[in-house]
Amino acid sequence: MSDEWPASKAEFQEQLRDAWSQLQQTLDTLSDQQMTERKDDVGWTVKDHLAHLIPWEQGMIALLKHEPRYQAMGVDVAQYEDEDKLNETLRAPYRSASLSDVRDRLRETHEALTAVVASLGPDDLFKTYSHYQPDDERAARLGDDTGEPVLRWVIGNSSGHYLEHLPWIRQLAGGSS
C-alpha cells in the first residue's frame, strides 16, 4: 500500500478494487491443499489469513454505518486491546468452516463494504473516526482517534489489509514458513 492517501472516494474505490483483484488472482492460483494444509510459524493457514480479514472488514462496515465496531467484529472492547489475542479470537469461529465457506463469507463482506462505501457522500471518508464512533472510549483512551480521516481505518482494514497479508499467503503457498 502506498503511503499516500487517496485524494477522493473514487480513488479509494479504485484502490479497493485493485487490492481485491490482487488477492483474488493470487488465491485463484492456489490449490485447496495450499490454502488449508500448509501452516506458518504461528500455525496459520491461508484459510486462516482469509478468515482473519472478515471480522476486521465487518468492523469497518459497522463503523461507517455508525454502529458499534467491536460488536460487529464479535468481540468486546477488553478483547480488542490485545491485538495478538484478538486476532486468534477473530479467526476462531472459522476454524471448522470449509475453505469455500470462508472465501464466500470474505467475498460477501467485501461486497458489503463496497456497497457501504458507494453509499457515502464524496467527503464522508475524510471525516474523523469520532464522527462515526463518537462513543468509542477505547479510541479516545488509546489515542486512536488522531483526527485523521476515517479512511485511514478503512484502508487498514480492507485494501491495505489484503496487501499486508498477500506476502504471507504467497509464502505459505510456496511451502516455506
Looking at residue 151, which CATH number applies to its domain?
1.20.120.450
Intervals of the chain under pLDDT 70: 1-3, 77-82, 137-145, 175-177
Q: Which residues partner with 128 through β-bridges?
A: 149
Whole-angstrom distance, CA of residue 34 vs CA of residue 16: 25
Name the residue range of residue 32's domain. Answer: 14-174
| Of 115, 99, 117, residue with least CA distance to 155 | 117
pTM (whole model) above 0.75? yes
* Residue 3: inside a domain: no
Q: Please, which residues bridge with residue 149 across strands?
A: 128
Dist CA 135 CA 174 (whole Å):
44
Residue 113 lies in a domain: yes
Residue 107 forms part of a structural domain = yes
For residue 2, what pLDDT is reported? 41
Domain count, the chain: 1
pLDDT score for 1: 38
- Assigned domain for 156 exists: yes
**CB-CB contact of 59 with 99 (8 Å):** no
